[in-house]
Amino acid sequence: MTPASRPRSARAFQRAQRSLVGGVDSPVRSFRGVGGSPLFFTRGKGAYLWDLDGHRYLDMVGSWGANILGNAPPPVVRAVREAALEGLTFGAPSPREHELAERVRRAIPSMELLRFVSSGTEAVMSAIRVARGYTGRDKVVKFAGGYHGHSDGLLVRAGSGAAAGGRADSAGVPQSVARETLVLPYNDPDALRSAFERWGEEIAAVVVEPVAGNMGLVLPRSGFLASIQRACRAAGALWIADEVITGFRLRKGAIHTIDGLRADLVTLGKVVGGGLPVGAYGGRQEIMEQVSPLGPVYQAGTLSGNPLTMAAGSAMLDALGPEVYGRLEQRGRGIERALLGAAAREGVEDLHVARAGSMIGLHFGPRPPHDLPSALEIDRKRYGKFFWGALGAGAFLPPAVLETTFVSAAVSLRDVAFAERAFQRGMRAVVAGRAG
């Protein structure tokens, strides 16, 4: 697929670049990770998206996980329409806020008190501020490859050694801020134990994605999350489970609790907003009572808890019953098999597929990834070839090599078969590129 085959998207991108930085409002949308210029979409319904040029695509991005029921699910659309007719924003409390909060609490009992914000970045940033306020400590532990939003202290990567004060990934992040973040290897309990032996009395919190979704899809090894809980409990630090992606995606509630674990603070986003901007953070009552107006930790937001998002979120959570999660598991398994089948038929032997329910990671490389270094072994050119080949056949996948593919409940068995044909065309492009 070339710009000539989608001239309206090409013209829209040229125009956008005159007023928007890079022509986009989020870097991953720029398509620079796969080469070429981005598609511009005009509408979505169910499992499909349509671009400016009228081409239809099976949506395997799902607004990066938010659209768990597919595009424009009728119950959510109705709820938003009804709420909009009553007022877009009040800047004051409305019943919709505590009604959605009650739904979240029922699904995640450890969130005894919570607060809504407008993004996942805000949620994690606020949770870390609360952890520092509650513990009186400054240092935060994160894991290499884990993305927790673009706040200053979390845009860091590991230095030399098993753990070190972070080095900023972005210009504009003061080194004094980066030094308060310790970056450890994901899936490495020994490195975690060593960090607590050295800095335990200074660590306010450990923040982790229970299933890493931003270095491809990397599953936690058995016992890894439990080791975080033990280390935090022993040292008086707080464990923050960043479930912005996984919360309500893999089950009705938080995924880290499936083995009986209980984080001190949990952050949410994506699904809980029903497709509108949202974030949430919450945890034990005595911790969350540190937040203003009850305590000294300040956090505020003009559009936090706005009625449209609250209505969308309530409608979304009400629709997520056992049958939906059963369907997501079946369709996720079907897409996994379609990918592996297409690769096998075309003789592509270095494709590794990781799956957690309806989250799927694709990795063209020598081995399945288990941490950031192994994830970075991915062959970016081969993924790019696969992306464009599949896109030309009508399947829209993440336009970046280390992002996760999301399957929605709107995907049918016929859509899975369609996807398999698109994947096979993508694999042919990979083979052709290798031969070239």
Enumerate the active-site residues: 147, 242, 270
247 HSE (CA, 13 A, CB side): 34
The residues that bridge with 243 in the sheet, in sequence order, are 268
For 380: left if phi > 0, alpha if psi spans -120 to 50, otherwise beta; the answer is: alpha
Contacts of 177 (CB under 8 A, 6+ apart): 152, 153, 168
Residue 242 tokens read as: 């960043």
**303: amino acid identity, one letter:** L
CA angle 185, 191, 194 (to 5 degrees): 150
Nearest 5°: phi and psi at 45?
-150, 125
The Cα 247–Cα 243 span in angstroms is: 5
Instruction: Encode burial over 4-21: b for 16+ CB neighbours within 10 A, e otherwise.
Output: eebeebbebbeebeeeee
Tracing tokens 């956008």 back to the chain, one arrives at: 16
The Cα 59–Cα 410 span in angstroms is: 10
Residue 240 tokens read as: 């923050």
